[in-house]
């Protein structure tokens, strides 16, 4: 039973990767065609982004091999709901949000149960506990947004960004940087989670207070998780070895993310005082911050999840293109879209398969969460 549930969870992780590409492709075509009022944000944010992050998260969670089949079953059930929620939303926003809420609740319970299998006091357990909290809070946020707050699409999405993808980034980084580079994160990093949660509720209703909470959350996360040590680590890396290139890609990506986060805090305050448009803030957070972290981890995790090998064509083109896309969105959306496509193609070229992995390496559990992240 356990083996079957783990196998199903791995399959769901792969399905999530491919399904997110379908959602994103349709969303981009709709944006190019001018259908941006409903279809584009639902399919790209509640579809592609949600499905991709949850699919990768499943592989991340089961990599420590939960010993009870209930937890992988909960993960599979939750992922199944998240994978179809965007389509349900197009028929009924209320049912779509409810589907998301139930899916996140199942993911949260499965993640918290799995976290108990990790060694106490490690960044692995802390990361999983943070992920479990994030899923459960996102479930609660969506229910509140649907019932008590009755928010429209864009305010709901703005809060959702701080509730879900941003806190997933926190949770993953909580393990990835410390375990790879022996960085001990400051305990204050845990304050970033409740502040992000608070901001998700305040941003749609009280923009200034929400912006202050979100900015504080982002800055606490950034400066307490080891970002400031990245330049010194970069100087010690070998320049030519494959492993050195992977680490350089990983670290430089975090420097681009740091730049985006600093700009995002400025934009958040501008939004809070009524200067920056809400739609621009949404796009900057999704393109400049969330997408940058996805691109940081995708070339390192996707080959393991999908069972492929790549030529490891690491370069900084995706990061530069995403930052430029986020900045230029308010000036010219067509140029911004082109730059986003450049980032997408550049990332796909990095992860383009060269040959399948040997059978023994096809399981995502081989990507141990206790080991170093870049290959």
Both structure tokens of 112: 């918290």
Q: What pLDDT is attached to residue 351?
A: 81
Both structure tokens of 147: 């019932």
The pLDDT of 175-191, averaged and rounded, is 85
- CB within 8 A of 137, min separation 6: which ones? 163, 167, 197
58 phi and psi angles, rounded to 5 deg: -60, -45
Count of alpha carbons within 13 angstroms of residue 321, beta-carbon side: 18
Both structure tokens of 279: 């739609």
Q: Based on C-alpha coordinates, what's the Rg of the chain?
A: 19
Secondary-structure percent of the chain, ordered helix, strand, coil, rounded to 5: 80, 0, 20
pLDDT tens by residue, 127-169: 999 999 999 999 999 999 888 777 888 999 999 999 999 999 9
- Mean pLDDT, the chain, rounded, equals 87
Write down the residue that tokens 């999908």 correspond to: 306
C-alpha distance across the termini of the chain, in Å: 32
Whole-angstrom distance, CA of residue 161 vs CA of residue 166:
6
pLDDT surpassing 60 at residue 206? yes
- CB within 8 A of 303, min separation 6: which ones? 309, 310, 351, 353, 357
| DSSP helix/strand/coil, 35 | coil
Q: What pLDDT is attached to residue 5?
A: 83
pLDDT tens by residue, 259-291: 999 999 999 999 999 999 999 999 999 999 999
pLDDT tens by residue, 233-258: 888 877 666 667 888 999 999 999 99
């Amino acid at each position: 039973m356990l083996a079957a549930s783990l196998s199903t969870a791995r399959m769901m992780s792969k399905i999530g990767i491919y399904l997110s590409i379908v959602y994103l492709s349709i969303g981009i075509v709709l944006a190019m065609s001018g259908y941006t009022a409903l279809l584009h944000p639902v399919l790209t944010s509640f579809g592609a982004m949600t499905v991709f992050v949850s699919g990768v998260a499943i592989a991340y969670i089961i990599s420590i091999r939960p010993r009870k089949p209930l937890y992988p079953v909960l993960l599979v059930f939750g992922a199944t709901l998240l994978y179809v929620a965007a389509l349900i939303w197009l028929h009924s926003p209320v049912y779509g949000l409810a589907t998301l809420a139930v899916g996140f609740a199942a993911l949260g319970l499965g993640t918290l149960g799995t976290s108990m299998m990790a060694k106490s006091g490690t960044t692995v357990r802390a990361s999983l506990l943070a992920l479990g909290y994030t899923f459960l809070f996102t479930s609660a946020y969506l229910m509140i947004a649907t019932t008590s707050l009755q928010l429209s699409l864009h305010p709901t999405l703005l809060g959702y960004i701080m509730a879900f993808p941003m806190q997933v980034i926190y949770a993953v980084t909580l393990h990835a940087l410390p375990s790879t580079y022996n960085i001990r994160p400051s305990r204050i990093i845990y304050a970033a989670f409740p502040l992000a949660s608070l901001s998700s509720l305040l941003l749609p209703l009280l923009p200034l207070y929400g912006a202050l909470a979100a900015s504080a959350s982002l800055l606490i996360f950034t400066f307490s998780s080891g970002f400031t040590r990245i330049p010194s680590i970069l100087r010690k890396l070998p320049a030519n070895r494959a492993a050195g290139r992977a680490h350089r890609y990983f670290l430089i990506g975090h420097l681009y993310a740091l730049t985006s986060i600093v700009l995002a805090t400025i934009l958040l305050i501008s939004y809070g005082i009524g200067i920056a448009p809400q739609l621009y803030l949404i796009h900057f957070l999704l393109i400049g911050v969330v997408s940058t972290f996805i691109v940081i981890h995708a070339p390192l995790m996707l080959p393991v999840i999908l069972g492929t090998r790549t030529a490891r064509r690491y370069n900084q083109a995706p990061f530069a293109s995403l930052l430029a896309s986020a900045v230029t969105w308010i000036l010219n959306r067509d140029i911004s879209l082109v730059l986003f496509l450049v980032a997408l193609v550049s990332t796909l070229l990095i992860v383009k398969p060269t040959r399948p992995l040997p059978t023994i390496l096809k399981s995502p559990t081989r990507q141990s969460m206790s080991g170093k992240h870049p290959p």
